[in-house]
Structure 1
């Protein structure tokens, strides 16, 4: 579990996060949504330790990350998987080399042991026999699956995804959403996703946190978001006529 308690963060005298508290549970997909400038990116970077809160704390299964020793921080980083926007694969390396990279960085496994683990996670994301391909030979969806394989190769406790569906067509985005949710549940990972994709919100939003102007303005599930009367959430989520119609149909059915 990740617990965020009243964190504040600013830059150059400008407050970006203004006292956000939240809990993220293992085995659940938690989504962070909000308009540009709402604080989503700073919040995610604070969770993964790239920013240090000026007030409040973030704890991982009861361990406050700002209190870690150097060795504890190294261990904690091995427990984190990250799927970057745009996948962030090494262009000159093969799929196998990309996925093996964290194992080489953080473990003392033999090459045979690393290869076994790489093959296991590639099979899990349905990319068997893609080991020797390079990113340029892969579709956007396949590249994203390689990024997911790399993120889970260390068997992480915590998985962070930054706009995982960016640049993908709607059908491929659904495949990636489902894969992330399946892996989260299968391995009981605490997963936090920054997204602007409302399809993701509706499909896999087991917990949704809506940020506005650096504050947590709303929290609930994908079912709750259909029923909410929070004006800021309604304006943001249901700006599309399609989603408005879906919401209206849902509300009519549940009257």
Structure 2
């Protein structure tokens, strides 16, 4: 579990995060949503330990990050997996080498042990025959699956994803959503996804945190987001005609 307590973050005179408090549970897929400039990226970087809040605290299974020493922080980072928006694969490495990279960084496993583990996670994301391909030979969807394999290769307790569906067609986006959700449940990971994609929210949003101008404007689940009267949320969610129709159908079914 990750517990966020009254987190503030500023850059100069710009107050980006303004007292956010929430929790992210183990084995649940949580989405952080909001418009551009809402503070999602800064919030995610605070959760990753890349930014240190000026006020408040973030704890991981009861351990407050700011109170850890350098070795403890390194150990915690080794328990984190990250899927970047653009996949961030190393162009000069094969897919197998990309997936093995965190093992080289954080473990003392032998080469054969690392290869066995990388083989396992590549099979898990349905890329058993892609080991020797270069990233440039892989489609966007394949690259995202490689990024997921790399993120889970070191058996993380925490998985962070930044716009994992960016640049993907709708069908492939659903495949990636389902894969992240399955892995979260299968390995009992605390998963947090930054997203602006309402399809992802409705597909896998077990918990949703909505940010607006650096504040937590709302939180709930995909089941409760249709029920809220919070205008900030409804303006965002129902900006498309499709979701307006979905909400209307939802409300009519319950009358």
**What is the TM-score normalised by the length of structure 1?**
0.99
Runs of 4+ in 1 over 2 A off after TM superposition: none
- Structure 2 counterparts to residues 29-48 of structure 1, below 5 A: 29-48=29-48
> C-alpha separation between the residues in 1 aligned to 2:213 and 2:133?
43
Offset of residue 70 of structure 1:
1.2
SS of 1:167's equivalent?
A: coil
- The answer as to 2:163 corresponding to 1:163 is yes
Match of 1:96 in 2: 96
In structure 2, the partner of 1:117 is: 117
Aligned-residue Cα RMSD (Å) equals 0.5
Aligned residues: 255
**Using the alignment, how far apart are the partners of 1:135 and 1:223 within structure 2?**
38
Structure 1 unmatched ranges of 5 or more: none
Unaligned runs of 5+ in 2: none
Partners of 2:120 and 2:11 in 1: how far apart? 42
Residue of structure 1 equivalent to 2:128? 128
For the residue of structure 2 that corresponds to 1:222, the secondary structure is coil
CA distance in 1, matches of 2:151, 2:21: 26
Deviation (angstroms), 1:14:
1.4
Aligned twin of 2:57: 57
Mapped to 1, the partners of 2:115 and 2:135 lie a distance apart of 18
- How far apart are residue 254 of structure 1 and its match? 1.6
For residues 105 and 38 of structure 1, the distance between their equivalents in structure 2, rounded to whole angstroms, comes to 33
**How much does 1:102 deviate?**
0.4
Please give the per-residue CA displacement for 1:111-160, whole angstroms capped at 9, x wherever unaligned: 01000000000000000011000111111000000000000000000000
Structure 2 residue aligned with 1:69: 69
C-alpha displacement of 1:92: 1.3
Q: 2:174 matched to which residue of 1?
A: 174
Tell me whether 1:192 sits opposite 2:192 in the alignment.
Answer: yes
